[in-house]
Amino acid sequence: MKNNILLFLLLSVCTNAQINRFFYEYKFIPDSNDKADVKKEMMLLDIDKNGSNYYSRDKFVADSTSMAEVQKQIKGGSGNINISRRDSPGQVNYKVTKSYPDFKTYLFTRVSMDQYKVKEDQKPEWKILPEKQKVGEYNAQKATTTYGGREWIAWFSTDIPFQDGPYKFYGLPGLIVKLEDTTGSHIMTLVGNKKIQTEVSIGEVDMPGNVRLMGIGGKEIEVTKDQYKKLWKDYVNDPSKNMREMMMRNGGGDNTRVAFKMRTQDGKEISDSNQVFREMEKRTKETLAKNNNPIEPDLTK
């Protein structure tokens, strides 16, 4: 009898820890002036009894690898942390979480060196239409909404009993299996799913002094959407401000030296701080100009 009870408890723990993982192929056009340049990213929507997480598979893997490298340097005890600026795998840097049953939604993103938790104050208001079609193996029905500065078309399936979907979208009587804006700039299509056990998330690293790593670990600063919009405008006007401030705070006074390195577009490595910041500013402005077609335009107005 005792063995049966123990087995039941073990099964209960496994069941509670199980995640329904849905794979979405995300196609998007970063530059509205170059519609032939279509990017692709595999996004994951992990759903359990407490809520959901939507994030880039490649970004998660890259962050996990970088975190391990930094922890190794810290444990090495040399007193130096070398942070090489490089393009990491993963084109989508944000994450979206929703908590059940109230569907409280947060966007986790970063501006320069700081990470933010942006509370969503708008709920998608859907108009369900009679049109139906197959999306992959699923029977789906059409719905539309206006959200974040775009008009959206969703196809949801009651075959999958989750009232959730990619990014910040939810509230239909079934999982959203395809979502696209009316300009064709952002398209998310369900391409697979499986059940997995709970994965360990990327946590915080005990960094010396006030050192922070761009986009990896650490605590997020919770802000409203209006506060985030102001932070974004400040960043666009002065892209290297936060990193200059960090350099001033961590100039070696605590026996920890922070080295910034990066390569110019012609492959030359630079380590002089002023040169790094100038190159960073130039590259950031070029990147912003080529990424003028965000998924949620209202956030960057």
Of 124, 128, 196, nearest to 165 by C-alpha is 124
Integer CA distances (angstroms), 3 to 7, 8, 12, 224, in order: 6, 9, 14, 51
If pLDDT is split at 50, 70 and 90, which confidence band does 3 have?
very low
User: What's the pLDDT tens digit per position in 178-234?
Assistant: 999 999 999 999 999 999 987 545 444 444 544 444 445 557 899 999 999 999 999
Burial of 53-79, coded b for 16+ CB within 10 Å and e otherwise, reads bbbbbbbbebbeebbeebeeebeeeee
* Distance (Å, whole) CA 83 – CA 92: 21
If pLDDT is split at 50, 70 and 90, which confidence band does 30 have?
very high
User: What's the pLDDT tens digit per position in 36-90?
Assistant: 999 999 999 999 999 999 999 988 676 555 555 555 555 656 555 555 544 556 7
Say if CB 256 and CB 250 are below 8 A apart.
Answer: yes
CB atoms within 10 A of CB 201: 9
CA atoms within 13 A on the CB side of 167: 22
* Distance (Å, whole) CA 68 – CA 226: 35
Q: Which residue has the higher pLDDT, 208 or 30?
A: 30
Backbone angles phi, psi at 191, to 5 degrees: -120, -5
Q: What local confidence, expressed as pLDDT, does residue 214 receive?
A: 46
If pLDDT is split at 50, 70 and 90, which confidence band does 246 have?
low
Q: Report which secondary-structure segment, H or E, holds 258.
A: strand 257-263
* Distance (Å, whole) CA 160 – CA 157: 6
Range of 1-10, 76-85, 283-292 with top mean pLDDT: 283-292
User: What's the pLDDT tens digit per position in 142-151?
Assistant: 999 999 999 9
Q: What local confidence, expressed as pLDDT, does residue 13 receive?
A: 37
% of residues, the chain, pLDDT over 90: 55
Backbone angles phi, psi at 6, to 5 degrees: -60, -45
Q: What local confidence, expressed as pLDDT, does residue 79 receive?
A: 55
Tokens of 90: 């993963």
DSSP 199: P
**81: Cβ–Cβ under 8 A, 6 or more apart, which residues?**
70, 73, 74, 207, 208, 211, 256, 257, 258, 259
Strand stretches in 51-197, DSSP E: 51-56, 80-84, 95-99, 104-111, 114-119, 127-135, 138-147, 150-157, 175-181, 186-197
Of 48, 58, 124, 125, nearest to 88 by C-alpha is 58
* Distance (Å, whole) CA 193 – CA 157: 14
If pLDDT is split at 50, 70 and 90, which confidence band does 17 have?
low
Average pLDDT (257-279) is 66
* Distance (Å, whole) CA 158 – CA 121: 26
